[in-house]
């Protein structure tokens, strides 16, 4: 267990986004005794199977979010009132996410990279950056007091690939990998979708990134450009 347990808040546009892209690291931190919370800004219900009603699938996606988080000893939050593909890019949603940040009090936030083939992903990136700023403003009065998440990371997602360059490699062991895959496999689209082999892709990506890091498994992240500094006095 960590000497000082931390809280990690993973924020995705849809249920499954952060679970896929950062789930190995989340599982690793869970096993160390850290607190894991996921927030999905939509359920992601429009990836519904042909045979299923979209409203039923929305409910299923919410259950899957909770199952994944609970398997990591954590908690899931889903804004299932916002339709998949229609995530608003406005002040209201920024303040709503700000309120979650103030409630959860994360040390670390993980979300989408800025560029994406999916509009909800790119919108989520902008929302989270602003919500993190708002959450830290003591003069911005909300129901809960201000909280600033010191670290912000952008995860590697095949849909967010434009201009994504791995900056930080975070490795994890077999136990964390196994927990991640077991929890991830409770999501239908990960194992059953015919549009993209999600489980196969992310399993292999974790191994490739692990090899690059000279470790067993790893996931990569970018950070805000303004924090990309190496501080040293000599070579």
CATH 3.40.50.300 fits 7-227, yes or no: no
Domain segments of the chain as ranges: 7-227
- pLDDT tens by residue, 21-35: 999 999 999 999 999
Backbone dihedral angles phi then psi of residue 84, each to the nearest 5 degrees: -55, 130
Which residue, 164, 177, 158, is CA-closest to 215? 177
- pLDDT tens by residue, 124-142: 999 999 999 999 999 999 9
**Please, are residues 12 and 39 in contact by the beta-carbon 8 Å criterion?**
yes
0.75 exceeded by pTM: yes
What does each C-alpha distance from 61 to 14, 142, 160, 219 come to in angstroms?
A: 9, 30, 21, 24
- pLDDT tens by residue, 185-195: 999 999 999 89
Average pLDDT of the chain is 96
- pLDDT tens by residue, 49-93: 889 999 999 999 999 999 999 999 999 999 999 999 999 999 999
* CB within 8 Å of 228: residues ≥ 6 apart: 167
Cα separation, 178 vs 164, in Å, equals 27
Which residue, 149, 146, 100, 152, is CA-closest to 126? 152
Mean pLDDT of 151-170: 97
Mean pLDDT of 192-219: 97
Asked whether the predicted pLDDT for residue 181 surpasses 70, the reply is: yes
Mean pLDDT of 97-101: 98
Cα separation, 211 vs 205, in Å, equals 10
Residue 1 has a pLDDT of 47
């Amino acid at each position: 267990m960590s000497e000082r347990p931390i809280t990690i808040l993973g924020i995705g546009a849809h249920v499954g986004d952060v679970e896929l892209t950062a789930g190995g690291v989340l599982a690793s931190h869970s096993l160390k005794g850290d607190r894991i919370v996921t927030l999905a800004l939509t359920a992601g219900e429009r990836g519904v199977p042909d045979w299923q009603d979209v409203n039923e699938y929305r409910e299923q996606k919410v259950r899957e979010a909770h199952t994944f988080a609970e398997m990591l000893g954590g908690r899931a939050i889903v804004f299932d009132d916002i339709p998949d593909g229609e995530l608003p890019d406005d002040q209201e949603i920024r303040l709503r996410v700000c309120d979650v940040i103030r409630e959860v009090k994360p040390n670390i936030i993980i979300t989408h990279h800025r560029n994406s083939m999916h509009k909800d992903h790119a919108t989520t990136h902008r929302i989270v950056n602003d919500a993190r700023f708002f959450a830290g403003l003591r003069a911005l009065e909300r129901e809960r007091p201000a909280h600033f998440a010191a670290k912000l990371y952008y995860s590697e997602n095949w849909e967010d690939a434009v201009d994504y360059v791995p900056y930080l490699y975070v490795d994890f062991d077999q136990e964390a990998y196994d927990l991640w895959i077991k929890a991830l496999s409770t999501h239908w689209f990960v194992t059953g979708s015919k549009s993209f082999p999600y489980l196969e892709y992310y399993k292999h990506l974790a191994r490739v990134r692990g090899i690059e890091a000279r470790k067993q498994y790893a996931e990569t992240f970018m950070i805000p450009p303004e924090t990309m500094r190496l501080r040293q006095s000599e070579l």
